[in-house]
Structures are given as C-alpha cells and as structure tokens.
C-alpha cells in the first residue's frame, strides 16, 4: 500500500466552503466573511474560489446515498444488501418500490442539498470571472472558467439522470425555481463541456504536473461529451446533444483524446484497483481521465475530505485480509459473476468471491441479501493484522477516513465510446480492451453495438456506469434486464427477491425527488411518476 499517494487538492478555504444551515428551498448560499467589494479581484481570489468548486464536488456524496453506489444498486449488477436489521431504503431503490420503505421520503435529501451547494459555488465563480483583473494572466481566465463549467456540467449530469426534471440555476440564486425540461439542462451541460473542451490547454498526460492531478483537463471534457451524448441521444431518442453537439463532433472529441492525450490502458486490469496491493498502478495512473479525489483527513469538526461511501460496500462487519469490514451494501448479483468467462481476468479483479477466495465469512446472520459475492474495485482495505489502512494513515476511523478516489472516467471508456460512435478504428479499440482482459487467451470478436454493450457490462462493473448504459437503450430494455425473481439469504435464511419490470417502467428509471424539497417549494416542484 506504500504506493497509494494522496495529493490534497481540495484544501479548506473556510470563507468560501462553509454551507448555510437554515432550512429554505435550494439552500445553497455559503456563509462568507468576504463580500463582492473585497473579493473576486485577483487571479488568486479566483483560484481560491475554484478550489471551493472542487471541494463542493468532493462532498456531494459525503452523506445520503452516493451516485456510484446508487447506480450499482439500480442496475442488474447488485442488490440493495446492507444489514439484516437495517431499514429497507436500499431495497426501495433496488426494487423501484416506495412501499418497501415508505418512511424513506428523503433518501437523496442530503445529496440534493450538496449538489446545489456545489452548483452555487461554480455559478458564483463563473458569474464573477469578468470582474477579476486578469492583466498578465489572461490564459488563466479561460482555464479557470473552463474548469468551473466542467464541474457544473458534471454535477448537472448526475442530477438530471437521477431526477429528470430539476431546477436549472446558471447564476447564484436561492429562489423557488421551477423544474426545467431535461433538454434545457442538457443544453447547458453541452455548452459548458464544449467550452471546457475548446478552452483548456492540450497538455498531455505525461506533461501534466503531478501537483495538478485531479484537476479537469481538456481530455476529461472531451470524454464527458461522449458520455453525455450517448446517454442523452439514447434515453431521449434525440438525433444530437440538445442541438449543441452532433455525433460527428462527439466522435471527433473522443478521437482527440485517443490521439493526443497521452492516456492509455495500464497493462494489467487488476492493477487499476487498490485491492491488487503491490501491483496497484496508483492513483492518477495513465488510464485515469478524471477522478474525484479523496484524502484520509475527514473528521467530525468540519473537514469532509474522505470517501464516506466506500464503507457501504465492504463485507458486513468482517474483514479478511486485504478486505476490510463495512456495511454490506450493494451485494453482487451472482449473474454478474457468471457472465464472465473463466479466462477473463476482470472477474477476479472486480468481484470478491467468498468461495473462490476461501474466505471464512461467518456473518451471514448480519447480512441482508447475501449472495456470496462482494465488490472488489471499491472496498475498504486492512493490513494483515486487520487494522484499517485508512486508520494506519492517520484517519479518524475506518468509516469516514477511506481515501480511495472515485475514477469517474477511464481511458478504456474513451475507446469503447469512440467505437460505439462509429470510429473507423472501432475494431482496434475494441480489441485493445478485450486483449488486456483475456491476455494470452484473447481471441478476436467482431465489434458491434451488442458486443460493445456486453463488453461495457464486463469492463465497468461496479464503476457506476452499467445502469445508465441500460437506460440509454430504452427504459423497457433496462426494465427487462434488471427485473428478476431470485433467492438470497436474509440474516442467514433463504428468501425470495423480486424486482418488477413494471415498477421500473412506471418510474421511467428516475428516482424520488426528496419530499422535503417539494414541501419547501410549496408544491412548485413535482414528484416523479411512481414515487
């Protein structure tokens, strides 16, 4: 674990990052001792505000339900899991059924607040960018604006996928704003990403300074354009991305990443993940196009820097070196394990198999929806004595001190998206990804839409991508793939688990808007169907 190095990008700037504590609709305005008359004057002021934007991104999943965890539970990769005596909020998500946990009317409440606070920070900086004196630093102006606009787009892309019709704020406001149409939101996302892609410097991965790892790059913006394009045009059945980006343009951006970014695939798939221990390629390796950075310095005194959601995915209250204990959320669907060929190295690198690894797991009585499989890509780690690696680094505890980054975009995704969008190099890109997975057992498979989607299923399991890949094929396709009746162990006892396709189609795959927000809006916000 010595090669896990943390670069603390989002340091605390108290006057810029403290959130308000009063209850009001879209409570997003930060408490600050600085005013418009004495701040936003210099590039240094802008940099501090930009750090506040990154900090806002870092904490969107510190409470509530994290987007990566929710995305897996909603998909066919995982069940809700958690403890045998816990509430049924994760089952409500997994089964798209509010009757599974009627009291959970604000499951995403903390996330809604955190997303809008983060958007607020971006909006403030973007709105003040012109009043700063950039003399002698003109290049920084576009760079800082591009980073802030990328972050805003990233935030809105999460939000519009989760909730569909959401309030759209492009300037600082805490008003009672009605929901915008998805097309309006996607237009802002597309414009922001296009600005970022066109204005960030074309610095290759090798040339990027180590102390800037984690910041938005041109390549991250270009890659995210591809992802947004595929989702929007697929889910909504549109010919282009909100009239801003065509298919040809989306592909051109991705091809630019391939040819100019310097990113590439690491040699061994397992080395992408910390559980590979000495083989770990490290954070910010050449395959990481964009990641949300975490550190082990979270505490209960206002520092929220850690990966607070990782503990949800650990084995229920039991460690087995190198895997640490956690809360047993998002237990792996056995169908995912079975989908891999025995020759596919990604299977053992992605999933902890209790039987295959001969783990003496004795806590079935404490685990809901036990399947015999847990997530390996994102899991707490311990040393051989059972001590949390995070605590060894100085973390407050193993719950809030986890520090594994969330890799939001990998280069493998760039290759597969480019292939899907019709690159003339589609077969070569497809083969690159599969050759790494199968090594000397590799045999070529003809690239096609169906083979690409199957490959994405195997390549990106437990990375928060699968659910959205299903939805962009159509709600009915997603419902058919996710729905099932199977058997799990609840507290050690056999139980039947049913996910209904009708529930998924009723909700259109969208999630519950927090009822607190609907109440605070005096009914201006409307709840999504099925919730």
Would you say residue 211 lies in a domain?
A: no
Q: Say if residue 26's pLDDT is above 90.
A: no
- The 3-state secondary structure of 396-463, one letter per residue: CCCCCCCCCCEEEEEHHHHHHHHHHCCCCCHHHHHHHHHHHHHHHHCCCCCCCHHHHHHHHHHHCCCC
The pair of structure tokens assigned to 323 is 């895997």
Count the domains in the chain. 1
Would you say residue 214 lies in a domain?
A: no
Would you say residue 5 lies in a domain?
A: no
Q: What is the pLDDT of residue 175?
A: 84
Q: What is the pLDDT of residue 442?
A: 98
Residues 6 or more apart whose CB falls under 8 angstroms from that of 454 comprise none
CA dihedral 9, 15, 16, 17 (to 10 degrees): 70
Would you say residue 528 lies in a domain?
A: yes
Q: What is the pLDDT of residue 30?
A: 46
Q: Say if residue 8's pLDDT is above 60.
A: no
| pLDDT 10s digits, 173-192 | 888 999 999 999 999 999 99
Of 425 and 14, which is predicted with more confidence?
Answer: 425
Would you say residue 235 lies in a domain?
A: no
Q: What is the pLDDT of residue 12?
A: 30
Provide the pLDDT confidence category of residue 23 given band limits of 50, 70 and 90. Answer: very low
The pair of structure tokens assigned to 161 is 């996928």
Q: Say if residue 74's pLDDT is above 50.
A: yes
The pair of structure tokens assigned to 389 is 């690696």
Give the domain extent around 69: 65-107+294-404+465-531
The pair of structure tokens assigned to 39 is 């701040």
Nearest to 120 by CA among 216, 29, 10, 4: 29
Nearest to 313 by CA among 357, 350, 355, 271: 350
Q: Say if residue 16's pLDDT is above 90.
A: no
| Residues 22-32, mean pLDDT to the nearest whole number | 41
β pairing state of 484-490 and 406-410:
unpaired
Q: What is the pLDDT of residue 393?
A: 96
Would you say residue 342 lies in a domain?
A: yes
Q: Say if residue 503's pLDDT is above 50.
A: yes
Residues 6 or more apart whose CB falls under 8 angstroms from that of 48 comprise 13, 16
| pLDDT 10s digits, 322-359 | 999 999 999 999 999 999 999 999 999 999 999 999 99
Q: What is the pLDDT of residue 38?
A: 64
Q: What is the pLDDT of residue 37?
A: 59
Q: What is the pLDDT of residue 28?
A: 44
Provide the pLDDT confidence category of residue 36 given band limits of 50, 70 and 90. Answer: low
Write the DSSP symbol of residue 527: P
| pLDDT 10s digits, 99-156 | 999 999 999 999 999 999 999 999 999 999 999 999 999 999 999 999 999 999 999 9
Q: Is 409 helix (H, G, I), strand (E, B) or coil?
A: strand
| pLDDT 10s digits, 273-284 | 999 999 999 999
Residues 6 or more apart whose CB falls under 8 angstroms from that of 202 comprise 218, 260
β pairing state of 351-353 and 493-499:
unpaired
Of 31-35, 310-314, 418-422, the range with the lowest mean pLDDT is 31-35
- Give phi and psi for 476, each to the nearest 5: -65, -40
Would you say residue 318 lies in a domain?
A: yes
Would you say residue 516 lies in a domain?
A: yes
Task: Give this prediction's pTM.
Answer: 0.93
Q: Say if residue 31's pLDDT is above 50.
A: no
| Residues 384-393, mean pLDDT to the nearest whole number | 97
Q: What is the pLDDT of residue 3?
A: 35
Let me know the angle formed at the C-alpha of 156 by 153 and 158, rounded to the nearest 5 degrees: 110
Collect contacts of 37-45 with beta carbons under 8 A, ≥24 apart. 40/128, 40/131, 40/132, 41/131, 41/132, 41/133, 42/132, 42/133, 43/132, 43/133, 43/134, 43/137, 43/140, 43/144, 45/132
Largest CA distance in the chain: 69
How large a percentage of the chain has pLDDT more than 90?
92
Q: What is the mean pLDDT of the chain?
A: 93
Strand segments, DSSP code E, in 255-308 are 288-292
């Amino acid at each position: 674990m010595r090669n896990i190095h943390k670069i603390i990008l989002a340091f605390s700037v108290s006057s810029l990052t403290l959130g308000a504590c009063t209850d009001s609709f879209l409570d997003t305005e930060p408490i600050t001792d600085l005013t418009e008359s004495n701040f936003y004057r210099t590039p240094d002021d802008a940099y501090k505000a930009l750090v506040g934007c990154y900090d806002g991104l870092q904490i969107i999943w510190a409470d509530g339900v994290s987007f990566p965890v929710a995305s897996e539970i909603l998909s066919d990769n995982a069940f809700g899991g958690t403890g045998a005596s816990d509430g049924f909020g994760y089952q409500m998500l997994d089964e798209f059924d509010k009757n599974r946990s009627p009291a959970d009317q604000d499951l995403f409440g903390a996330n809604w607040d955190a997303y809008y606070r983060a958007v607020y920070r971006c909006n403030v900086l973007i709105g003040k960018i012109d009043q700063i004196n950039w003399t002698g630093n003109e290049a920084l102006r576009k760079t800082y604006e591009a980073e802030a606009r990328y972050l805003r787009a990233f935030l809105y892309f999460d939000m519009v996928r989760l909730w569909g019709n959401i309030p759209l704020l492009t300037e600082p406001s805490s008003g009672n704003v009605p929901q915008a149409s998805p097309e309006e939101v996607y237009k802002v996302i597309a414009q922001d990403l296009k600005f970022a892609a066109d204005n960030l410097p074309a610095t290759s991965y090798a040339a990027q300074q180590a102390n800037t790892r984690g910041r938005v790059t041109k390549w991250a913006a270009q890659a995210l354009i591809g992802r947004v394009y595929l989702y929007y045009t697929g889910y909504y059945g549109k010919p282009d991305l909100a009239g801003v980006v065509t298919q040809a343009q989306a592909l051109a951006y991705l091809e630019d990443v391939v040819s100019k970014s310097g990113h590439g695939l690491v040699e061994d798939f397992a080395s992408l993940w910390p559980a590979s221990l000495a083989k770990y390629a490290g954070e910010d390796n050449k395959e990481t196009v964009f990641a949300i950075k975490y550190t082990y310095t979270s505490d209960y005194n206002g520092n929220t820097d850690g990966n607070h959601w990782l503990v949800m995915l650990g084995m229920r209250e039991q460690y087995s070196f190198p895997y640490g204990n956690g809360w047993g959320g998002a237990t792996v669907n056995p169908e995912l394990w079975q989908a891999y060929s025995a020759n596919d190295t990604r299977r053992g690198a992605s999933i902890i198999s209790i039987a295959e690894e001969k783990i003496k797991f004795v806590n079935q009585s404490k685990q809901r929806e036990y399947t015999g499989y847990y997530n390996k890509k994102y899991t707490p780690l311990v040393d051989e004595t059972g001590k949390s690696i995070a605590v060894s680094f100085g973390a407050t505890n193993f719950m809030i001190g986890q520090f594994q980054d969330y890799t939001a975009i990998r280069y493998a995704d760039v290759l597969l998206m480019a292939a899907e969008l019709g690159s003339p190099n589609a077969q070569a890109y497809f083969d690159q990804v599969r050759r790494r997975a199968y090594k000397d057992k590799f045999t070529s498979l003809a690239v096609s839409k169906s083979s690409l989607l199957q490959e994405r299923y195997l390549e990106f399991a437990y990375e928060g991508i699968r659910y959205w890949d299903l939805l962009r094929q159509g709600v009915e396709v997603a419902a058919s793939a996710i729905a099932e009746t199977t058997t799990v162990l609840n507290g050690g006892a056999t139980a039947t688990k049913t996910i209904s396709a009708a529930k998924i189609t009723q909700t259109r795959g969208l999630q519950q808007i927090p009822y607190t927000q609907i109440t605070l809006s005096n009914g201006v916000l409307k709840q999504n169907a099925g919730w």
